[in-house]
Structures are given as C-alpha cells and as structure tokens.
Chain A
Amino acid sequence: MSAALLRKEWREHRGALILLNVLFGVLGALLVLNEARYATHGTLMEVLKIPAVMLSTAAALFVAHRLVTREYGQRTQLFLESLPLSRASILATKLLLGGGVLLLPLVLTGLALWSRARLHEDLSARFLLILGLRAATPVLLGWMFCALAGLIGRYRNPLFLLLFLALFAADRLTDFDLTRVGPTVLLGSDFAFERQHFPWAALGLCWAAILGMAAVCFGLVLHRDGTLAELLSQRMSHREKVFIACICVGLVVVISVMDAAKQRQPFTLHDAEQALAVGSPVQVSSGVGFSREDAARLATRLANDLGALSRYLGLERLPAVAVMPIRELDADVFQRAELENADGVVVRANLADPAFDVRDFEAFLFQQVLIWTSKGQVLREERRWWLDGFTAWWARRDEEDPRLSPRVAVASRDDFDPRAWLTTRERVGPCLAGALAARGITVLRSQLDEEAFHSLARQLLAWPPGTGVTGRLSEPRLEDLLRARGLGSESELFTRWRTAASQDRAVHAALLEALSRLHPSLHVVAESQETFRLEHRLRGEGNTPAGRYALLSQNLGPFTAEVAPYALSRQDAVGAEDAVILPQGLARGERWLFVMQQERPELGCPVRLVAERREIP
C-alpha cells in the first residue's frame, strides 16, 4: 500500500465516503437521542447492532461498488497497472481504505452510545472489547464478501443468488442452522448482554472467512497478470441472464422436490403403551382417568383391528399410529395432528370420557390410516361415502349395531345424494353420515358374495396411488366396478340404498316425529351498518319441551370446504321462546357456518337440526 494510492483513492471517492459517514453520523445521533426506544431492547448498547448490520450489508455493498466494482468494471485498473505499482498494493489499498471507512462510523456510534449508556449501566473494558469485536467482525466480513463479489464482475449477482440458494438448500435438506454459525452468533440475542465470555468459535470462523476471501481477492487480481479479473468484468449478455435465471429457478424446484421427498422418521411417543400392527407400532399413552392398563388394552385392540384391516385390504405397510388422550375435546370429537418432519398418524380423543365410544373412534382411526396409505386420494368426494361407510361398518362388523337403524332413519329424513357426500356430511354430521354410509355398504354386501365384496373394497380403498393425469386415469371408478359385477349403475345402487333407508324410517317413525316437532331458527340482526348479531332459538311444538341444544359456528373463508368438528366454536343453550344471542359479533361480508345440534342418547350421536352457510349481507 502506498500513500500516493491512498491519496488517489481518497480524492476520487471522498465525496461519497464523507457523505456515507455523515449519514451514519445522523443515524447514530438518532439512536442516541431516542433513548426511550431502548426500553424494548434492554440496553442502549444493543442498538449498536443496527449500524453493524447496515454497515455489513448495504454500506459494504456501496463502498465495494465505489472502490472495487467501478474500478474493475470500467477497467480503469489497467491504467493503474501501467504505473510502477503492484496489483497487490492497489488491491490492498482499496481493501484497507474500505475497511477503515466502514469501521469509522461503527466506532463513532459505539462511542456515542457508550457515553450515554455509562450513566445507567456498568460497562467494563472487557465488555466493551467483547462488544467491539462482535460488532466489527461482521462488518469486515461483509466488506470482504462485497469486495470479492465486485472482483467477480458480471457473475456477482449470480453469486449472491447461488449463495442464497445454498443456504436455502442447507436449511431445508440438512440440520444446518444459520442462526448458530459465524456472524449470526456474533449478532445474536446476547450481543449486548454477554459481558464475560469471548465467542472465540464464531470469531475464529469469521476471521478465517475474512482471510480466505482476501486470499481469493488477491488470487483473482494476480492470476494471469490480472486478465482474469478483466475478463470477468465484461457485461453479461441477455442470454446469459436468462440462462442463469432458469438455472436458479430449476435449483429451487429441485430443492423443494427433494425436501418433499425427504424420508421422514416415524413419529414416536414416549412412555406409551405399544403394540405392533404389521410391524408398525401402535402407541397409546395414558392420561387423567385413563390408566396405563387401559392404554395397553386399547393399544392391543387397535393393533389387532388394524392388522385385520390391513390383511383384508392387502395393505403392504401401515403408518406408525399414536393415540393421545385429551380432555379438551368432546367425547365424540376426534382430531388428527398435522405432522412436519415426521411420519405417521397421530390422533387425539377424550379417551377417559364415559361417553367415549371405542368403535366410533376406531372408524375414525381406520379412515385416517386409509388416507395415509392412499396419500389422501380416498378423500375424493365421489368416493368419500365409501370411506365413511366401510370404516364405520368394519368397526362393527362382528356384531349388529342396534343403533344403526335409528341413526340411518334420522340421517335420511331429508333426501341425500351420495355423490355430494361432503354436503351430506355437513348437513347431518360425521357420526350420522357414517351410519348412513354404512347402510349403503350393507345394501351392497347383501347383493354380493363375500369374495366379490372383498375384491371391491380392495380396489376402491387400497389401489396404488399415482400422481398427475396417469394417476387420475388409473383410479378405480365405482360405476365401472359395479357394472363389472353385474350390479348395474351407481344410480341403481343409490336407489336401493334410499329404499333401505326408508325402511329404517318406517321402523323409527316415532323418533322422526319427535324431531319434527322441534323448530330451530337463526336470525341475523343488524346492529349497525357493518355489525350484526345472531339470534338463535329452538322451540318445541305444542307442549313438546325443546331441551338443551348447542350452536356450533365457524367463520369461513371464501373457499372453505369441509369444516372439521373440532374447529367449530360452541355455545350451549336451552330451547325456549326467547332467542339466545351468539356472543361473537358478526361483520358485514363475512361467511359463517351455523349448526344447531342436539344430543340424542338413544342414538349415541348428536343430531344436527340446522346446518347452513350464511353470508352476512
């Protein structure tokens, strides 16, 4: 480095560099003058992080552009090289000047903050040294990186992009955590609070990176008499830009696909009772009112039933199943967890509640397992009744359920369309919908021998799932399968199904009569131009007592399809002449799902008296 070079650089860039320091001086003054803000930071010295981050990023980029990119981009370094100066000294001058220009405002801001903070806090020399190293090192790291990028010339933007992609890939595909490496550790949450220990590991890593990048800078400038740097400085063509853009997008897609395909470990539940179903664990944990012995019994039962289901449908593999008791839910509400970075079926239910029905729970669990094995494709609406009906039937296949017939009678009191099964489910509720679908299964079974039904079930619930158009085309269709077995069309099957349901209604006419005497009502009443209230009421006809009921509600988005039972808010009420007001206010433009339902002990299912989606006008 020579004094003449330094003077030349200073003369060329002094305006911009002085302005940079002036701006950071203004920033520092603002930080100091607004001390009250530091109440959210814990100590005034914490705000030194702000100029440290800005100097290591935006300011370093700016200084690198002035000192390095312009010089080498416009190839004026060739003129300098014609002077009796070595390339190394030219570069060294620039690097040192840039570092000095960036560290100066950091030091000045630090001094200003120290002068105020020492009035409130005890700031030892050791602490200030630690703080200084933690603030300055990232600034120098940022400066060296930007200087290197400047020397790389037209590939500096692709370099930034590729670095970002590499970090993205490391984050998604590995256990690499950026927040525990190098500069992020130095600027971490203990930045202005660690007063004793030097973060040598992080400092060493950063200093090694600084020295490494400096070496690469010198290498670029000195290699082949500087021709490499000159070549890199030429402008990128349009095609190069498009090519690099495509490469980057392609890499993002590949990384995302790899992330999605990443093998996930089966979910394991600690301290749970466990049984095996086709080699996959079925774990049940104990809880309040649900002892370890109960959990062990349930685990064994579930494992046996899942194993039988797997053999019946020919499932090659079952997921790891975890069942957890939770008092948060009602006895008839079951919930499946969404898993990230783990695989399996994790469900919760109020196992200890006296009203908990293990067979209804099994039907739910079987559904979740089949959804897992089919990668969700059994949920297609045209076939959804099969999933509900088969699992409800399978859970009770050993014995005739005396509640099936009255459940079917109540569920079918309005006409139903199996092809619009989600609407039927929402209207009658999942419990009655399962019973109604089970009736459809029994109707079909009555017309097929066991082998034919068995084969039909396998084809509809356990086919190998595919993707895209070919996967869709290869999915089995009930219509085709019925015709192949000489059972006519789907419509004919549905007609037979409705006939069977009408027979159930005839047997339980009294129950339907009692329900018909209940008159639910929902009224949306305007309280202002924008806000409304919901008034709901359940009246019994004549002297019929209406009894207790519940209003379930959910604020829907514009496209919300199926609403899970556990997502519905609930307000309990007693039927009377006076209306009950929903505590939640309604706003214009919202969409709501309102359900009025009543418990029926004789059915073991809640009966939905009203289920409608309303838009608040």
Chain B
Amino acid sequence: MIRPLIAKELRDQRPFLWLSVFFLAVEVITSLWTEPLGFSPYAQTFVERFKVGGDLSTMTFVLAFALGTGLLVREQDDRTLEFLDALPTSRGMLFSVKLGVALGLVLLYPLGLTAWTLVEHGLSRTSLDASLHVDLLVVGSVLRIIQALAVLALALALAPLRRLSWTALAVLMLALSLWQDRVPWLAALNPLQLTAPEFEGTRWPWPVEAMAVQLGASGVLLFIALAQFLGLGQRRLGALLRWLQQSWMSGVVSLGTLGLFIAVLARVLGPPPGGADGGAADERPRVRFPTSTVAQAATRYYRFTYPAELRHRAGPLVDAADGVHEQVRQFLGESPGALIHADLGGSAAHTGGTAYWNTLRMDLAGASDAERASAVLGHETTHVLAHRLVGVASVPKLSRMKLLSEGLATYVETRFFSPERTSDYQLIAAAARARREVKIEELLDPERLAADRDADWVYPLGRAFVDALVRRHGEGAPARVLAAIGREGAPEGLDGALAWQDAFQTAGIDLSQVFDDMFAALDAQVAAQRTLLDSLPRPRGVVERQDGRVAIRARLDKPLPSGWRVVCRFRRTERAESYELDGPYAGEGPHWREATDISEGRIWYQLGIQGPESLILYEPWTLVRVK
C-alpha cells in the first residue's frame, strides 16, 4: 500500500519537485555555462552557500514551509481525505508517507546543491587543500535534514491556521529575535541558525544541544500536527479555528503582528537594558535634577542653542564662532551659505560632536576649555561645509569615504585650532605604521577597518593623508576632490577604491602618489619616534573563569611607560557599530563578562594602551570561543 501512496504524494507535489529541480538546474547550468571548471573550491562556495541567509538555508526554509502549510490541510479542504480514509491504510501511515515524501522533496535542492558543491571542490582541489572534507558535508547535510524536518513540523503545526500561518511564522520569528538578546540560548530554537558553520580549525563540531532542541521541538510539533490530522479533539479544535477565523480576529492578529513590529522598534528606540548609560542594571538610588531651559544665540553664520546653565562656557565659543567659520570657509574656498544650526547640548555616544546637513551637535559640557570647544566647532563645521561642497545627494558617498571626510576635519582642527594635538595623532599613526598595520585596502573600507582594527584610525591616518594631499597639491586640493565627488554626472554605484579613484582622477590628483607621500611621512615619524614606539608594550588577552563567569585579563610583553594604561573593550558581533561597543574599561583586568554579554559562546575583545592625552592605540580585535 505504501508504494501507491508514495506515488500519489509525488504526483500531488509535482510542482515542488519541478521547482526544486529547476532551481538546482539553474545553479548547475549557470556554473557550467559561465565559469571554467575547477576554480570553485570550498573557499569560494562553502561558507557563502551554508551561511545563515545563504542559498541553502533560505531555500530550505521557504520550500519546507510552503510545502508544509498545504500538505495536510489541502486534503481536508479538497475533501479528498474521506477518499483516503476508505483505503486499507491508517491515517498514521498516511501522515508518515506524506511527511517522508515532503521531506525528500524539500531536501532535493539543498542536498543536490551540497553534492554539486562537493563536485566543484573535487575538481578544484589543490595540494594546499586536498581533502574533500566529506566530514563537513556530512555534518552540514545532517543538520540540513534536521532543519528541514523542523521547518516542516512547524509548518504542519501552523497549517490549520490556513492563511494566518505565514503571519504566525512572522510573529514567532520576530518574538525569537526580540528575546534572543536577553536569553541567548533561545538561538538554539532558530532552525536557520542550526546550519550556520562554526569551525574549529577544519572541523565542524556537532552542535549537540541545538540538535537536541530542534529534534525535540520537531517531535512536539509533529505530534500536534498528527493529533490534528487524526482528528483528536476535532470538535474543540474546529470551534477554536472557527473562532480564530472570524473576520475581526484576523484583524486583531494582523494588528498584533503590526504591534510586534512596533514593539521591536520600541525596543530599539527605548532605553537600553539597565538604563540610559547602557551598563548593567543599577540598583543605586537615582538623582534627577530638573531639566534646564534652553538658551539661544545667533551669530552671522550660526544659530546656537545650549543649556542655559552653560552660558559661561557658551559665551567664549559664540564669540569665537564666526572666526572659526571664516577660517574653515576660506580654507575650503566655500562661499557663505545658509546658517548652521548648532546644538551644544550633547553629541552621539563616544563622540565630541556630530555633523549633519547644515546642522551640528556638540557636547559643550564635555569640552575641557574654550580652545577645545573651538577646535570641535571647527572640526564639525568642516564636515558641514564639506557636505555643502559635495551636495546633499552625494553626502552618503562622502560619508563612506571616512578617511577623507574625518581626515579633512581633523586636519583643519589640528592645523588651525589645536596644533598641540598634532603630535598625539602622529604618534598613533606612526605606531600603526611601525606595526605594518596600515593597509590601503582597509583605510578605503571603513567597515573592514572597524571590524579588524579601530574605526577611529581614520582620524590620525586621515589627518596624515590630507596633510600629504595638501603638501603636494596645495590647499585647494581637498576642495577640488570634494567638488569632484559631488559633480553632476558622476558614475553611480561606485564604491570603495573605485569611488576614490574616480574622485581623485577627476580632480586631477594621483591618488597613489598621495598615499605614497603619506607613507613616506609615516616612515619619517616612525624614525623620529622610534624610541617611544619601541617602549610601548603589546597587550595579549588571557581568558579567566570564576563562578561561571568569564573574564579577559591583559598580559604585557614589557612594562608600560609612565602615564600609560591598559584598556579593554568588547563587542557582540564582528560588524557592531561604534556606539554598540562596550567599553573601554581601564586596567589590565580581569574584565568580567556576564552570560548575557556573551552571544552564541563568543567574546570579541580588543586590548589597547591609552596615552596621557587619552588617545588609545588598539590591538586588532580578537574572537575567542567560550562554553
């Protein structure tokens, strides 16, 4: 009886069969048609296909859920279940056959593509990576089977909701992402995470806990689906479903989904866990003073707003503001434009000021003196005027060229308003060069620079870059480059090195020559500060444990010079934004991490040394896996 049932199921699910075969064929034929055989090793294909959100996970999820939602309910809706009941077989057998056939169809594409990945690697192997890594593929395939089973089970359990099943899926996924930050082990419930490769060397260890959770959850969901299919509690379930399917209920459910979206947003927009400081929950008594009134002041080029109690600090700044503006404006060759709105009440985390279109914000309270405040004003005013030079449409492009934008602002700041800081920036730049860590590809890719080293390197190295640019091509060079960035008819879609090359070529400047000059200047600085640079230690991290907590302690290879100290900071993910960084914390440690701070068993830490003038020289980011 089983064979006819299988044949019947295959016939019913033909569209999914064709779809899987089609997708697989497209993948294989495209490779064969457009690429030479033997140049697709795992280095190029494995992680790309197996990662969360890659082809395999996405297609498995979509196919499994789409197939599963219709697998059983279609028989009920089309009334063919009564016919099947007349056959000499049980509903349990029907259920098993359906599940087996559906699982096989869902796995056709991912396992087929996995096999093709193996074939491609087999043809592309070299002596440096001669193994077929079949063990990795076995782990990946088994996890893929469990993933498909879990998604199928979920789809079968939600299928009675009919059209609301996709809505319910969205609700569940959102709820999971909402709570995962606070309860990290919930990641084990996410079937997409199950097949994300986690390598230890060339091994992919079995994620036993996640597998157990997924298999357990699949069992429960399959039991629910089977119970519904067998008609257990049919009357009550029918009544519940009729109640759920009333028109107002669908509205409530839909709005509930919308509400969940907003709840997620609220979580993003609301105060961070533990309070506005972002630290751990604080149980000390809180003191809150009344908010002050806001004062305003207008000059020829600015409109200032600031907390009234800072009027003594704001006064010198307001008096000096137009002079600052004139100096920056003349350097950039920009004509006077609209007023700049300057809010002196604060800035983004980890910054002294931030600039927007015709607007800037500054932390006046954080500035140590009037000169420092003028320097920050000059820095941010440079950004605002640079935005005007490139035009509003090209501001995002300029923002991605951080080495240039921040370098220009820092150059203006140190040249005209705080020359005493030049030596601090030069020290950081020289140290990076001495370590051979200044790489042009990273400087032109701010995200990569932030992920591997320190996003703030754009300040000292950008300053050195603009200094080299001005020395060789004159003071008008930065403005020419900015004008080239914002010119009409600039090619769209350029990014990274190409955007730089396009802008500098249009401005009539050889970019590689500017970098050459920069490196020459850095080498000269290295030579001049060799003694100090050689005296600076390089901290390494050591993991310590106590009472279930994990800490990072710094170890130094030589003593710290006087006035220097070790710092440590952390992040949750490789691509965390600068305002998401935790720290820096001073001292050699141990710097303890709570379980909620450790995402998926990983700690990203970065050690550095902080000089007397507060600039920090960081080591590269390090990832360590802890259980």
Contact = CB atoms under 8 A, between A and B. Distances in A.
A270 B505 contact: yes
A286 interface: yes
B440 A238 contact: no
Interface in B586-624: 619-620, 622-624
Contact of A122 (B46, B341, B348, B622): B341
Given A288-B516, A327-B516, A561-B128, A468 B33 contact: yes
Contact of B361 (A39, A328, A421): A39
Interface string A3-27: 0000000000001100110011011
Interface string B327-347: 000000000001001010111
A40 B347 CA distance: 7
Contacts of A185: 393
A66 interface: yes
B262 A587 contact: no
Interface stretch (B16-24, B84-92, B209-217, B566-574): B16-24
A257 to B, nearest CB: 6
Nearest to B45: A559
Contacts of B512: 285, 287, 324-326, 348
Interface string B485-497: 0000001111111
Contacts of A24: 262
Nearest to A324: B512
A353 to B, nearest CB: 11
A570 interface: yes
Interface stretch (B225-233, B400-408, B539-547): B539-547
B357 A193 contact: yes
Contact of A380 (B38, B271, B497): B38
B251 interface: yes
Contacts of A285: 510, 512-513
B457 interface: no
A249 B37 contact: no
B127 A196 contact: no
Contacts of B248: 15
Interface stretch (A158-166, A335-343, A387-395, A498-506): A335-343
Given A270-B505, A533-B540, A469 B18 contact: no
Contact of B625 (A177, A268, A530): A530
B551 to A, nearest CB: 10
A541 interface: no
B523 interface: yes
Interface in B348-363: 348-349, 354, 356-359, 361
Contacts of B392: 188-190, 194
B383 to A, nearest CB: 12
Given A30-B266, A177-B493, A468-B37, A253 B30 contact: yes
A427 to B, nearest CB: 10
Listed residue (A185, A194, A288, A342) with the most chain B CB atoms within 10 angstroms of its CB: A288
A271 B296 contact: no
Contacts of A260: 34
Contact of A588 (B495, B515, B625): B625
A527 B542 contact: yes
Contact of A271 (B199, B259, B440, B508): B508
B261 to A, nearest CB: 6
A590 B199 CA distance: 8
Interface string B512-532: 110111011001000000000
Contact of A242 (B19, B33, B123, B341): B19
A528 B544 contact: yes
A535 B15 CA distance: 61
Given A39-B346, A527-B540, A250 B26 contact: yes
Contact of B356 (A42, A54, A238, A288): A42
A20 B252 CA distance: 10
A559 B36 contact: no
Contacts of B338: 195-196
B549 interface: no
A403 interface: no
Contacts of B23: 249
B311 interface: no
Contacts of A26: 262, 266
Interface in A52-85: 54, 58-59, 62, 65-66
Interface string A579-617: 001011101111100000000000000000000000110
B348 A39 contact: yes
Interface in A317-348: 324-328, 337, 339-342, 348
A272 B513 CA distance: 11
B183 interface: no
B245 interface: no
B359 A42 contact: yes
Contacts of A340: 495-496, 498
Contacts of A62: 254-255, 258
A20 to B, nearest CB: 7
A381 interface: yes
A585 B513 CA distance: 35
A23 B251 CA distance: 13
Contact of B516 (A40, A256, A268, A287): A287
B436 interface: yes
B255 A42 contact: no
B478 interface: no
Interface residues of B, number: 113
A256 B30 CA distance: 10
Report which residue of A59, A190, A269, A559 has the largest number of chain B beta carbons within 10 angstroms of its beta carbon: A559
Contacts of B620: 584
B559 interface: no
Contacts of B255: 16, 19-20, 23, 62
B128 A562 contact: yes
A30 to B, nearest CB: 5
A62 B41 CA distance: 46
B598 to A, nearest CB: 12
B294 interface: yes
Given A119-B294, A557-B43, A561-B41, A588 B200 contact: yes
A467 B622 contact: no
Interface string B34-75: 111111011100110000000000000000000000000000
Nearest to A581: B557
A314 B202 CA distance: 43
Contact of B497 (A16, A272, A337, A531): A337
A465 interface: yes
A326 B395 contact: no
A242 B18 contact: yes
Given A193-B359, A569-B436, A529 B543 contact: yes
A468 B35 CA distance: 6
Contact of B201 (A180, A246, A583, A615): A615
A467 B35 contact: yes
Given A34-B270, A328-B440, A558-B202, A530 B258 contact: no
B538 interface: yes
B265 to A, nearest CB: 7
21 contacts: A15-B248, A16-B251, A54-B261, A122-B296, A190-B358, A190-B392, A193-B356, A193-B359, A256-B30, A325-B513, A327-B520, A375-B36, A423-B127, A530-B543, A557-B43, A559-B42, A561-B41, A583-B538, A583-B540, A584-B619, A615-B202
Given A341-B491, A558-B201, A587-B625, 14 more contacts: A16-B251, A39-B361, A40-B349, A193-B358, A193-B359, A246-B18, A271-B508, A271-B510, A285-B513, A324-B512, A339-B498, A422-B128, A588-B624, A591-B202
Interface of A: 15-16, 19-20, 23-24, 26-27, 30-31, 34, 36-37, 39-40, 42-43, 47, 50, 54, 58-59, 62, 65-66, 119-122, 171, 175-177, 179-180, 185, 188-190, 193-196, 238-239, 241-242, 245-246, 249-250, 253, 256-257, 260, 268-272, 285-289, 324-328, 337, 339-342, 348, 375-377, 379-381, 417, 419-423, 426, 465-469, 471-472, 527-531, 533, 557-562, 569-570, 581, 583-585, 587-591, 615-616
